[in-house]
Chain A
């Protein structure tokens, strides 16, 4: 198709500055998507290095490498970096790149805001990690050491790292809210003629619900950390019983955001899965409508179940029962999604390219996350598992196998579309098998550690836990280093490789595959018509 359709109303269309200025000033959804994805990959390695240092410390009982204070800083910043600076930007990068292509829009609805949303991320990452550097020069006592949850009163009493993290969270929140508003407006206002909401690609549906969740919950987190800031510096007593406040109030406010956050990280991936599964099974997606309604149901349920994270903090029995059953009810729409994913593959002409391998790995491992989540949702059982390594293993099955592996699926699936080159299947498959094996080697032992009673966020442990911790550390290092294959594969693919056609995958359906690979700088200037 013709790539450049000049229009008299927009004379600057084909002109953009070169070099660094292109990236600082861009209003193009593809450039911004690329920046989000690059930033996410970089921060993925930053957060990964932090946790490798933690795992190295935990390789043996006793304290070998670091002081407990520094250990606490590493685990907290690891989580904040992975959630806010790696997974969320990666998902937003996908949205930027793919939603306009998929719905036949010329760009995102609010392009300058889009650029701002990205450029808020580096300042936030600087704020989050700067206290590490400042501590080297004797200023302050390092980064936030409360874990990513900021629980009061620990966070009220903590050092200046907490202040840095609070402001970083504020800026990250503004970034995500700007991104969400942009995505909602784009989906509502920029769809090609004829694309009704029930013809919208499932990826866009997943992101739409994500964006609503961000809009509903991130301002509450901003409010909660603002109260923390005023409790720390301006004499308020929100979280101090001496003034009539309550530390548990912070936990409620935090998890009102924190639980939907899990779905914020996962819904874009659930939206992307049907595309991959249908492509490599060469069959239409099974149960489109059921999946849309499941997304909506999960979105609604996710904001009314938060207190299952704090069953052991103290709550009236009726509240415990309510939060237990409402949490477990999420498994119903989630089971519908699993059913649809499997039914999409059922009796399909399946092939197993790298994205498909990661998608199937995702389904199996994320299923374990769901099942262990059901166990944790049980009030009586949770008293045993709470704050143990069982929880750590559970949410890494959800957020690594569910979140990161989903993102990797998407990268391999769309990379040829973005670059115009095919990645190396051989390296991709090697990456897949190393990742899956090392991931399980890392986290299966942590289930056993948790069941045996090892608490999380402790730099030292009893001798009985030594073997499992050693295995877990070995797994973590293999897992971490095998991601270098991923980075190398992307690098090679961006630099060159076999040229691909517009429809990269034989079974791929959708508007995005109608455009050339890579797509023109301005795509869909004239909207396609969907019948």
Chain B
């Protein structure tokens, strides 16, 4: 049979991992976590324990799976070709995260530009309104929402902006260190980034506490409370993940992983961190400031 001519020199050999049970167990863990969460939501028994079990399974699998990948990376299984796959994959994964946040920003803009002004102009447009006194200024908890004080931009949020922006700088400085083979600069920069991430999270926790206990600003505080907590909350969740990922990278750096030529894991996490940074800037402008 005629076959196209073989030409191994062009691409070389692509690493196809051997069979692995991790993906299947991870799915089982996610099912367990979801079931526990559903039991919890609907006030059925044992929800907490099922959730905990699911979370335990997921953490164990992630530990094992990433451990396997790191082992493969150290053994030199990955070359430029595999490296490119990881890079493309990470880029498009971050693209999905962008769209996830876009949904919540979309909700915020829709509410501010369309639904709140509509609610306040019903008398004008239709001659009647369920809530004739509702003025529709932003921030609002809606015609029937509780009283609250909105979160000011120039206190903790401004400090947090400075923290995250400097963390973006420190991670880049660490990257330069890695590229130039200055391991101390790499480790120091990463440690500083992790530290700044932790400071950010601590301040955000404090801010939430302040909102709930003193400002009356809760998830239930109408459209403002909902968009405020969901946007900043999901961002905070991403910062948490990013910090954990940075910590793993720091440990790997301290153990001597990564070379100036091959360090996709470092870069993937750095991209993720910059993405989280950019989301924060948008949050600062549209949620806190304007």
Contacts and interface: CB of A to CB of B under 8 A. Distances in A.
Contact of B89 (A107, A110, A139, A167): A110
Contacts of B219: 230, 234-236
B88 interface: yes
Interface in B209-227: 218-227
Contacts of A522: 16
Interface string B1-27: 111111110110111111111111011
A437 interface: no
Contacts of A232: 41
Contacts of B10: 193, 527, 529
A224 B22 CA distance: 30
A192 B140 CA distance: 57
Contacts of A181: 89, 92-93, 96
Interface string A193-213: 100000000000000000000
A192 B106 CA distance: 41
A242 B142 contact: yes
A224 B102 CA distance: 11
Interface string A229-255: 011111111101111111011001100
Given A119-B27, A140-B42, A189 B88 contact: yes
A88 interface: no
Nearest to B40: A233
B7 A160 contact: no
Nearest to B69: A112
A248 B106 CA distance: 13
B56 interface: no
A235 B220 contact: yes
Interface in A252-311: 252-253, 256
Contact of A123 (B3, B13, B30, B229): B30
B95 A238 contact: no
Given A25-B19, A244-B223, A110 B144 contact: no
Contacts of B142: 237, 240-245
B96 A215 contact: yes
Interface stretch (A6-14, A53-61, A66-74, A410-418): A6-14
A242 B226 contact: no
Interface stretch (A16-24, A439-447, A487-495): A16-24
A170 B42 CA distance: 18
A529 B20 contact: no
A191 to B, nearest CB: 10
A425 interface: no
A122 to B, nearest CB: 7
Given A223-B103, A234-B219, A245-B226, A24 B28 contact: no
B215 to A, nearest CB: 16
Interface in B18-59: 18-24, 26-28, 30-31, 34-35, 37-38, 41-42, 44
Contacts of A463: none
Main secondary structure of the interface of A (DSSP, over half): helix
Contacts of A240: 142
B17 A253 contact: no
Contacts of A42: none
Contacts of A109: 85, 88-89
Nearest to B222: A243
Given A163-B38, A245-B111, A9 B15 contact: yes
B13 A25 contact: no
Interface in B238-277: none
B141 interface: yes
A409 B77 CA distance: 40
A223 B100 CA distance: 6
Interface residues of B, number: 80
Contacts of B282: none
A190 B96 contact: no
Contact of B41 (A1, A13, A163, A216): A163
A181 B11 CA distance: 21
A253 B110 CA distance: 10
Contact of B145 (A126, A192, A243): A243
Contacts of A193: 7, 10-11
A215 B222 contact: no
A6 B219 CA distance: 59
A204 to B, nearest CB: 15
Nearest to A174: B30
A216 B95 CA distance: 8
A160 B24 contact: no
Contacts of A526: 6-8
Interface residues of A, number: 94
A530 interface: yes
Contacts of A419: none
Nearest to A164: B38
A291 B92 CA distance: 25
Interface string B48-90: 0000000000000000010000000000010001001100110
Nearest to A120: B27
A198 to B, nearest CB: 18
Contact of A243 (B2, B93, B141): B141
B290 interface: no
A336 interface: no
B24 A24 contact: yes
B161 to A, nearest CB: 24
A529 B10 CA distance: 9
B143 interface: yes
A112 B102 CA distance: 29
B14 A238 contact: no
Max chain A C-beta neighbours (<10 A), residue from B14, B102, B224: B14
B27 A123 contact: yes
B23 A112 contact: yes
Nearest to B115: A246
B42 A27 contact: no
Contacts of A256: 106
B192 interface: no
Contacts of B77: 9
18 contacts: A9-B15, A24-B21, A26-B19, A110-B89, A116-B23, A216-B99, A218-B99, A237-B223, A238-B223, A242-B144, A243-B220, A246-B115, A246-B118, A514-B2, A522-B16, A526-B6, A528-B4, A529-B5
Which 9 A-B residue pairs are closest in the complex by CB-CB distance? Answer: A223-B103, A244-B142, A528-B4, A244-B223, A116-B23, A243-B222, A246-B115, A12-B18, A236-B226
Given A163-B41, A514-B3, 13 more contacts: A13-B16, A115-B23, A120-B27, A126-B31, A164-B38, A188-B88, A193-B11, A219-B98, A223-B104, A223-B107, A236-B230, A237-B226, A243-B222
